[in-house]
Amino acid sequence: MIEPHEYCLLDEYLEQDWDAFIIEQDWDAFISFAETKGFEASEVYQLLNKLEEKANG
Protein backbone atom coordinates (compact mmCIF):
# COMPACT_ATOMS: atom_id res chain seq x y z
CA MET A 1 0.00 0.00 0.00
CA ILE A 2 1.28 3.44 -0.90
CA GLU A 3 1.49 5.64 2.16
CA PRO A 4 0.15 9.22 2.27
CA HIS A 5 3.65 10.71 2.60
CA GLU A 6 4.68 8.77 -0.51
CA TYR A 7 1.72 10.18 -2.45
CA CYS A 8 2.75 13.67 -1.33
CA LEU A 9 6.28 13.08 -2.61
CA LEU A 10 4.99 11.83 -5.96
CA ASP A 11 2.58 14.71 -6.29
CA GLU A 12 5.25 17.30 -5.56
CA TYR A 13 7.68 15.72 -8.01
CA LEU A 14 5.13 15.29 -10.78
CA GLU A 15 4.21 18.97 -10.51
CA GLN A 16 7.85 19.80 -11.25
CA ASP A 17 8.86 17.18 -13.79
CA TRP A 18 6.03 15.06 -15.19
CA ASP A 19 7.92 14.24 -18.42
CA ALA A 20 11.01 12.91 -16.66
CA PHE A 21 8.94 10.57 -14.50
CA ILE A 22 6.22 9.38 -16.88
CA ILE A 23 7.71 9.67 -20.35
CA GLU A 24 11.46 9.36 -19.85
CA GLN A 25 11.20 7.23 -16.70
CA ASP A 26 14.23 9.01 -15.27
CA TRP A 27 14.27 7.20 -11.94
CA ASP A 28 17.64 8.66 -10.93
CA ALA A 29 16.20 12.18 -11.04
CA PHE A 30 13.24 11.06 -8.93
CA ILE A 31 15.51 9.31 -6.42
CA SER A 32 17.70 12.42 -6.13
CA PHE A 33 14.63 14.59 -5.63
CA ALA A 34 13.29 12.22 -2.96
CA GLU A 35 16.62 12.22 -1.14
CA THR A 36 16.46 16.01 -0.92
CA LYS A 37 13.09 15.52 0.80
CA GLY A 38 14.55 13.17 3.42
CA PHE A 39 13.84 9.79 1.81
CA GLU A 40 16.47 7.08 1.66
CA ALA A 41 17.21 5.54 -1.75
CA SER A 42 15.95 2.17 -0.50
CA GLU A 43 12.62 3.76 0.43
CA VAL A 44 12.31 5.23 -3.04
CA TYR A 45 13.04 1.87 -4.68
CA GLN A 46 10.32 0.33 -2.49
CA LEU A 47 7.92 3.06 -3.61
CA LEU A 48 8.79 2.46 -7.27
CA ASN A 49 8.14 -1.26 -6.73
CA LYS A 50 4.76 -0.46 -5.16
CA LEU A 51 3.87 1.71 -8.14
CA GLU A 52 4.86 -1.06 -10.55
CA GLU A 53 2.76 -3.59 -8.64
CA LYS A 54 -0.20 -1.20 -8.63
CA ALA A 55 0.18 -0.59 -12.37
CA ASN A 56 0.27 -4.31 -13.07
CA GLY A 57 -2.94 -4.86 -11.14
pLDDT in tens, 2-26: 899 999 998 898 888 778 777 778 8
Say how far apart CA 17 and CA 2 lie, in whole Å: 20
pLDDT at 2: 87
CB count, 10 Å around CB of 44?
Answer: 20
Is 43 a residue whose pLDDT tops 90?
yes
The amino acid that residue 33 corresponds to is: F
pLDDT at 15: 86
Give mean pLDDT, residues 24-49: 91
Q: What DSSP designation does 24 have?
A: S
